[in-house]
C-alpha cells in the first residue's frame, strides 16, 4: 500500500509538472494598439478589456493589450518582436512585416497625403531652405513628407528646420500664419480645410495611396490555427470591441513602399565598408570586434555570439542630416581605434549602427565596417545567436 501511495503521489507530481509546463507553453499573448496623432479618437473607441476578453475566448489563453502614442518606441518594438499582434498605422505594420510578422489587413480604404506649402510656393523644390511642420518623427505624415521631398530631389537636410507638433492641423495653421513653409496632411482633411480657408495655402504635390486606418499583423511563428482564427476574427468580429473590422487587404508591396519612405538607412557610408553576414563571420575570424549598438533589452534577448554591447543612445532624427550632438555614444571611447570594428543594430531601418559607424570614422578609426542588415540578416542566414541571459 505504501508503494502504491508513493507511486500515486509520484504520478500526481508528474501530472502537475506537465500541467505547469503546458501552462508555460501557453503563455499569454501580447497585443499593442498604436495610435497616429489623428487616430486618437478612434483609439479611444477601442475597448482594451473587451479586446482582451474577446481574444482570450477566441484563442483559449490569456491575452494582454497595451496602447501607445509613442510611435518611435512602437517601431522599436516591431524590430525586437516585442508583441505577438500589432494593431497600428501602416508604417508600423510595414516594419513588422520585415521582422517576422504576417499581414492580416487594414480597417480602412487607402488614403493619399498632400504636401502643402505657403501660397507663394509653386512646387516642392521651393520648400528648400524652409521650415516644415510635421507630427512625431515616426508618424505616417513624416514618412510621406520624406518620400515626396525625395521624389523631387530634396531631403530633410535641405530644410532649415523640421518642427514636430502633436496635431497635423497645427501644421496647416503654421503655414497659414507664415510660421512654416510646408506641412503634410491627409488629402481628405486638406480638401475640407482649403474650402474653409481659400488662398491660405497651396497643394504642392500628392503622395500615392497608402493603407488607411489601422493595419493588423501577427507573428508568423504563432500556430497556424491561431493565425487563421485571428484573421477571421479581425475580419468579422473586431467591431465588438470598438475596432473596425478588417475589410481592406492592401498588398505586401504597398507596405514595403511605406517602409522604404521613412525608415531605411542609406545603402552606403563613405569611409566605411558595408558588409554581409558572411563577411562579418570572416572578419570575426580574422580578429575584428563586433559592436552591438541596440538597447540592453534587445541585446540580452538575442545577439551575435562574439558581440560586445556598446549602446548608441539615439535622440536625433532618423535621417542623413541628423544632429549627432543630440545622441550619446560615450562607449566609443572604450574601443580600440586600430582594431577592425563592425557596427550593427536591428537591420536596414535601424539608424544606430549607421550613426555609430559615422562617429567611429570621425574619431579616427582606421577600419570601420557597417553591418547594415544587422541581427535580422544574421538570423535569416541561419547563423548562431545567443538568446537570453546577462
pLDDT value for 26: 54
Q: Is residue 245 part of a domain?
A: yes
Of the residues 224, 241, 262, the one at which a domain ends: 262
| Angle CA 19–20–22, to nearest 5 | 65
Q: Answer yes or no: is pLDDT of 19 > 60.
A: no
Q: 247 pLDDT exceeds 60? A: yes
Q: Which of 274, 277, 333 is nearest to 307 (CA)?
A: 277
Residue 233 clears pLDDT 80, i.e. is over it: yes
pLDDT of residue 39: 75
Tell me, yes or no, whether 76 lies in a domain: yes
Whether 199 and 217 share a structural domain: no
**How does pLDDT run across 125-160, given as a tens digit for each residue?**
899 999 999 988 888 999 899 888 876 767 888 899
Domain count, the chain: 3
Instruction: Specify whether 280 is located in the same domain as 238.
Output: no
Taking residue 24's Cβ as centre, other Cβ atoms within 10 Å add up to 8
User: Which of 169, 190, 206 corresponds to the end of one domain?
Assistant: 206
Average pLDDT over residues 22-48: 78
Helix (H), strand (E) at residue 255? helix 252-262
The reply to whether 103 and 7 lie within a common domain is yes
259, 311 contact by CB (below 8 A): no
Of the ranges 132-146, 171-185, 243-257, the best mean pLDDT one = 171-185
- Residues 51-65 have a mean pLDDT of 96
How much is the average pLDDT of 305-315?
97
- Within-domain flag for 268: no
Based on the number of CB atoms within 10 Å of its own CB, is 299 exposed (0-12), middle (13-18) or buried (19 or more)?
buried
Q: How far apart are CA 291 and CA 288, in angstroms?
A: 10
Residue 267 lies in a domain: no
Q: pLDDT tier at 10 (50, 70, 90 boundaries)?
A: very low
Q: Do 88 and 170 lie in a common domain?
A: no
Specify the pLDDT at position 25. 43
Q: What is the pLDDT of residues 256-304, one digit of tens each?
A: 878 777 557 877 788 999 999 999 999 999 999 999 999 999 999 999 9
Q: Average pLDDT over the chain, rounded to whole?
A: 89
Residues 251 and 353 in one domain: no
- H/E element, 329: none
Same domain (yes/no): 286, 146: no
Name the helix (H) or strand (E) containing 320: none
pLDDT on residue 18: 46
- Domain shared by 374 and 287, yes or no: yes
Contact 188, 159 (CB under 8 A): no
CATH number of the domain that 252 lies in?
3.40.190.10
Query: What is the structure's pLDDT at 264?
Result: 73
Element (H or E) spanning 31, and its range? Answer: strand 29-34
Contacts of 384 (CB under 8 A, 6+ apart): 305
The answer to whether position 61 is within a domain reads yes
What are the CA-CA distances from residue 70 to residues 36, 75, 76, 101, 143 (Å)? Answer: 9, 9, 10, 20, 15
88 strand-pairing partners: 215
Q: Is the pTM of this model over 0.75?
A: no
Residue 22 clears pLDDT 50, i.e. is over it: no
pLDDT at 250 over 70: no
Same domain for 16 and 146: no
Q: Examine the domain organization and report whether 380 and 293 are in the same domain.
A: yes
Q: What confidence score (pLDDT) does residue 7 get? A: 46
Q: Using only the alpha carbons of the chain, give its radius of gyration.
A: 24
Instruction: Of 12, 82, 83, give the one whose Cα is nearest residue 295.
Output: 82
pLDDT tens by residue, 207-232 = 989 999 999 999 999 999 999 999 99
Is there a single domain that holds both residue 156 and residue 176? yes
Which domain does 94 fall in, by range?
2-109+211-262
Task: Kindly state whether residue 54 falls inside one of the protein's structural domains.
Answer: yes
Residue 66 within a domain = yes
The pLDDT confidence band at residue 246, using thresholds 50, 70 and 90, is very high
Give DSSP secondary structure letters for 132-186: EEESSTTSHHHHHHHHHHHHTT--GGGSSEEEE-S-HHHHHHHHHTTS-SEEEEE
* Residue where a domain stops, chosen among 172, 190, 206: 206
Residues 277 and 383 occupy one common structural domain: yes
More confident residue, 13 or 367: 367
Look at residue 21 and tell me whether its pLDDT is greater than 70: no
Residues near 180 by beta carbon (within 8 Å), at least 6 away in sequence: 118, 130, 131, 132, 133, 163, 171, 174
- pLDDT band at 167; cut points 50, 70, 90: confident
Q: Give the domain CATH number at 286.
A: 3.40.250.10
Pick from 302, 301, 382, 311: which is nearest to 352 by CA? 311
- Indicate whether 105 and 215 sit together in one domain: yes
Amino acid at each position: 500500500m505504501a508503494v502504491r501511495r508513493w507511486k500515486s503521489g509520484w504520478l500526481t507530481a508528474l501530472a502537475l509538472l506537465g500541467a505547469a509546463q503546458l501552462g508555460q507553453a501557453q503563455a499569454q499573448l501580447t497585443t499593442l494598439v498604436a495610435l497616429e496623432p489623428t487616430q486618437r479618437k478612434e483609439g479611444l473607441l477601442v475597448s482594451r478589456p473587451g479586446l482582451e476578453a474577446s481574444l482570450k475566448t477566441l484563442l483559449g489563453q490569456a491575452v494582454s493589450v497595451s496602447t501607445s502614442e509613442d510611435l518611435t518606441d512602437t517601431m522599436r518594438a516591431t524590430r525586437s518582436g516585442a508583441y505577438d499582434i500589432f494593431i497600428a498605422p501602416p508604417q508600423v505594420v510595414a516594419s513588422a512585416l520585415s521582422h517576422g510578422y504576417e499581414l492580416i489587413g487594414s480597417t480602412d480604404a487607402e488614403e493619399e497625403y498632400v504636401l502643402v506649402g505657403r501660397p507663394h510656393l509653386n512646387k516642392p523644390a521651393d520648400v528648400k531652405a524652409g521650415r516644415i511642420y510635421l507630427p512625431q518623427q515616426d508618424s505616417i505624415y513624416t514618412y510621406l513628407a520624406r518620400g515626396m521631398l525625395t521624389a523631387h530631389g530634396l531631403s530633410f537636410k535641405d530644410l532649415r528646420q523640421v518642427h514636430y507638433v502633436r496635431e497635423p492641423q497645427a501644421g496647416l495653421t503654421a503655414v497659414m500664419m507664415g510660421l512654416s513653409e510646408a506641412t503634410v496632411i491627409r488629402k481628405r482633411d486638406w480638401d475640407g480645410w482649403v474650402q474653409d480657408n481659400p488662398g491660405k495655402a497651396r497643394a504642392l504635390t500628392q503622395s500615392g495611396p497608402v493603407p488607411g486606418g489601422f493595419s493588423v499583423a501577427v507573428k508568423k511563428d504563432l500556430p497556424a490555427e491561431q493565425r487563421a482564427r485571428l484573421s477571421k476574427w479581425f475580419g468579422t468580429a473586431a467591431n465588438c470591441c470598438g475596432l473596425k473590422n478588417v475589410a481592406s487587404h492592401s498588398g505586401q508591396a504597398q507596405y514595403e513602399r511605406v517602409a522604404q519612405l521613412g525608415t531605411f538607412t542609406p545603402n552606403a557610408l563613405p569611409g566605411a565598408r558595408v558588409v554581409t553576414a558572411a563577411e562579418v563571420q570572416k572578419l570575426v575570424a580574422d580578429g575584428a570586434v563586433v559592436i552591438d549598438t541596440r538597447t540592453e533589452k534587445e541585446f540580452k534577448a538575442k545577439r551575435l555570439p562574439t558581440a560586445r554591447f556598446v549602446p548608441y543612445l539615439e535622440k536625433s532624427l532618423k535621417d542623413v542630416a541628423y544632429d549627432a550632438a543630440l545622441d550619446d555614444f560615450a562607449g566609443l571611447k572604450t574601443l580600440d581605434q586600430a582594431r577592425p570594428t563592425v557596427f550593427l543594430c536591428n537591420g536596414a531601418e535601424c539608424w544606430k549602427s549607421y550613426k555609430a559607424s559615422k562617429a567611429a570614422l570621425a574619431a579616427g578609426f582606421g577600419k570601420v565596417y557597417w553591418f547594415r542588415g544587422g541581427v535580422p540578416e544574421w538570423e535569416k542566414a541561419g547563423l548562431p545567436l545567443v538568446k537570453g541571459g546577462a
